[in-house]
């Protein structure tokens, strides 16, 4: 186990009707707030009115920026930065899922920076200060409600890039599982896949003697798997929704990272896919992750055997460990398929057109991953396996 520093300062308000406290939490950071959200769903559901009412009860002046799309764009982020600077905004409140929260984090960083916010995503500069962020979560998936990271797409060149800093962790996040009842089943399944991928990125590590976090990863994966079909078949099952929502947070709040080095190549490869084709991040991960597994499993076949046995209950064949490892990968694919996810590029109408471009762009700053270092040709081979 590696030495580590762990600090996650996000206050969690979890449960029914917790959004009623958003005003009381927000006013702790000031009286001017940027309300950031996506489309009309929070209005049609009544959530918008409840949030605004709670904020106004505390005398908070509200500025609004809507229009966040999946794979959030830097152009909208830049609009938000201008609003914050011109109006001396004290807090950004993200009401939505990972895309809204990631966009809010980017705005929060840009509002305290004299240059262009995209500098943070290209490594030209790093975050030193940002506005505080609050969250009302509506889509359990990205884990951005407590994470330090944010992912943004630049329309110029179709680059989708990530950056992170501990200051970007939201100050508070409100998690009410009831708010997820009306999610379309496909969006729910994409979220389930995303949170599983966050755990798998951490699970496949070269670090030894990480039994505790291995077990925590496995338990969180099994909880998601055990509740996934329930929420898809019975969307208003509160208990199952609560398990999924909390699992998504635990998957990406960095507790599961302690003492180990994660991989993250699959996420980087998927960013190239959704950056160009604008597909759902979870769907892209369902395609990439099994292909990555097939390409790298021989790096540590015992870890893949452990994964197959502990997560998917595959019986270990001591005379054929490769068979056991491959069975675990197959179970992963079968599960993604069972919840309505694509498991090949062909299924989402992605052919060979941009495979070379994605492999090149993805590795232009160096090799991807830590479990196995992946160079341009490796990424090309994984994308071919994903076809």
Count of structural domains within the chain: 2
- Is residue 4 a part of any domain in this protein? no
Dist. CA 296–CA 301, nearest whole Å = 9
Burial 104-141 (b: 16+ CB within 10 A, else e): bbbbbbbbebeebbbbbbeeebebeebbbbbbbbbbbb
**Cα dihedral across residues 99, 100, 105, 111: positive or negative:** positive
List Cα–Cα distances, 281 to 130, 131, 195, in angstroms. 26, 27, 11
What pLDDT band is residue 256 in, cutting at 50, 70 and 90?
Answer: very high
Q: Are residues 162 and 31 in the same domain?
A: yes
Q: Are residues 286 and 355 in the same domain?
A: yes
CATH number for 247 = 1.20.1090.10
Sign of CA dihedral 96, 99, 100, 102: positive
Contacts for 353 with CB less than 8 Å, ≥ 6 apart: none
Q: At what angle do helices 376-385 and 281-296 cross, to 10 degrees?
A: 110
Q: What does the block give as tokens for 354?
A: 């941009």
Tens digit of each residue's pLDDT (9 = 90 or more) over 304-323: 999 999 999 999 999 999 99
CATH code where residue 137 lies: 3.40.50.1970
Which of 301, 278, 287 lies closest to 371 in space, CA to CA?
A: 301
Tell me, yes or no, whether 340 lies in a domain.
yes
Gap between the Cα atoms of 114 and 309, Å rounded? 52
DSSP characters for 306-332?
A: HHHHHHH-PPP-TT-HHHHHHHHHHHH
Q: Is the same domain home to 160 and 189?
A: no
Q: Domain for residue 3, yes or no?
A: no
- Residue at which a domain ends, from 154, 179, 204: 179
Same domain membership, residue 188 and residue 168: no
Whether 227 and 113 share a structural domain: no
Residue-range definition of the domain harbouring residue 157:
11-179
pLDDT tens digits, residue range 6-24?
Answer: 989 999 999 999 999 999 9
Residue 205 and residue 311: Cα distance in Å, rounded?
16
Q: In this structure, are 157 and 231 located in the same domain?
A: no
Residues 252 and 360 occupy one common structural domain: yes
Task: Give the tokens for residue 270.
Answer: 């998927």
- Please tell me whether residues 154 and 190 are part of one structural domain: no
pLDDT tens digits for 191-242?
999 999 999 999 999 999 999 999 999 999 999 999 999 999 999 999 999 9
User: Do the domain assignments include residue 1?
Assistant: no
Structure tokens at 161: 């890039």
Residues 195 and 172 in one domain: no
- Closest by Cα among 92, 35, 40, 38 to 67: 38
- Mean pLDDT rounded to a whole number for the chain: 96
User: Which tens digits make up the pLDDT trace of 182-205?
Assistant: 999 999 999 999 999 999 999 999
> Buried b / exposed e across 345-360, counting CB within 10 Å, b at 16+?
beeeebeeebbeebbe
Asked whether residue 122 is domain-assigned, the answer is yes
Q: Among the listed ranges 54-58, 78-82, 352-356, 379-383, which one has the minimum average pLDDT value?
A: 352-356
pLDDT at 171: 98
Say if residue 46 is exposed, middle or buried (CB neighbours under 10 Å; 0-12, 13-18, 19+).
exposed
| In the chain, % of residues over pLDDT 70 | 100
Q: What was the pLDDT predicted at 39?
A: 86
| DSSP state letter for 179 | G
- Domain boundary at 130, 153, 179, which? 179
Q: Are 184 and 231 in contact (CB under 8 A)?
A: no
Question: Which has the closest alpha carbon to 252: 202, 317, 324?
Answer: 202
Last residue of a domain, one of 133, 150, 179: 179
Nearest residue to 241 (alpha-carbon basis) of 141, 101, 134: 141
pLDDT at residue 352 above 90?
A: no
Which residue, 367, 251, 368, 372, is CA-closest to 301? Answer: 372
Two tokens at 94? 């993200």
């Amino acid at each position: 186990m590696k030495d580590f520093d762990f600090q996650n300062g996000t206050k969690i308000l979890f449960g029914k009707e917790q959004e009623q406290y958003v005003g009381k939490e927000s006013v702790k950071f000031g009286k001017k707030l940027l309300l950031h959200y996506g489309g009309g769903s929070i209005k049609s559901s009544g959530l918008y009115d409840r949030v605004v009412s709670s904020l106004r009860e505390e005398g908070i002046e509200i500025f609004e920026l809507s229009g966040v799309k999946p794979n959030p764009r830097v152009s909208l982020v830049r609009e938000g930065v201008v609003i914050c600077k011109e109006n001396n905004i004290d807090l950004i409140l993200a009401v939505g899922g990972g895309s809204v929260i990631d966009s809010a984090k980017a705005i929060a960083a840009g509002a305290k920076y004299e240059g262009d916010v995209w500098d943070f995503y290209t490594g030209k500069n790093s975050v030193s200060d940002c506005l505080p962020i609050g969250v009302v979560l509506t889509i359990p998936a990205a884990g951005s409600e407590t994470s330090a990271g944010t992912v943004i797409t630049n329309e110029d060149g179709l680059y989708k890039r990530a950056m992170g800093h501990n200051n970007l962790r939201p100050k508070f996040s409100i998690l009410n599982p009831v708010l997820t009842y009306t999610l379309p089943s496909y969006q729910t399944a994409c979220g389930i896949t995303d949170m599983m991928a966050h755990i798998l990125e951490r699970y496949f590590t070269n670090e030894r003697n990480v039994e505790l976090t291995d077990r925590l990863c496995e338990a969180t994966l099994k909880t998601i798997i055990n509740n996934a079909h329930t929420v898809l078949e019975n969307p208003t099952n509160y208990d199952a929704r609560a398990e999924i929502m909390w699992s998504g947070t635990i998957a990406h709040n960095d507790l599961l990272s302690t003492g180990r080095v994660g991989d993250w190549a699959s996420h980087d490869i998927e960013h190239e896919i959704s950056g160009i084709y604008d597909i759902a991040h979870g769907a892209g991960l369902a395609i990439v992750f099994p292909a990555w597994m097939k390409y790298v499993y021989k790096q540590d076949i015992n870890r893949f055997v452990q994964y197959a046995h502990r997560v998917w209950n595959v019986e270990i064949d001591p005379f054929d460990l490769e068979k056991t490892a491959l069975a675990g990968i197959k179970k992963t694919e079968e599960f993604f398929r069972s919840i309505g996810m694509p498991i090949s590029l062909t299924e989402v109408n992605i052919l060979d057109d941009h495979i070379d471009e994605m492999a090149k762009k993805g590795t232009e700053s160096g090799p991807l991953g830590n479990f196995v270092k992946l160079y341009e040709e490796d990424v090309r081979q994984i994308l071919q396996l994903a076809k």
